[in-house]
Amino acid sequence: MKFLGIGIDICKVSRIQKIMEKPYWDRFVERVLSEPERVKRNNAEFVASRWAAKEALVKATGNKGLVFREIEVFGNGKPGIRVLGEEGKGGFEGIEFFLSISHEEDIAAAVVVALSKA
């Protein structure tokens, strides 16, 4: 495997909590969370960790054009991350992503490492 990149991001849970109270919360959720992730849309810690993971993926790949709702964080215990839709089919074939998420009080943090399978 060949190392391609690493990304890290942190997000304040209280920042997400404040956004949850705004009238544009529903639009925010539709732009940021994938369809399966929307089940926990009212959990600020969950949403903050997804935001951090997706930002870390953007940093690891260097692709600022990624659409957050087409990035899915999955798994219990050992999290994973994948790009869905056309973005996933095109530019990310043969790339494996490794994700770590952590929470501490008001902070959610995530690290993504991108490796080429070739």
Active site residue 54: no
Would you state the structure tokens that stand for residue 102, as one six-digit string?
A: 């952590």
Exposure letters 18-34 (e unless 16+ CB within 10 A, then b): ebeeeeeeeebbeebbb
Q: Which one of 18, 22, 54, 59 is the catalytic residue?
A: 59
Tell me if residue 103 is catalytic.
yes
* Active-site position among 22, 64, 103, 117: 103
Which residues are catalytically annotated?
A: 59, 103
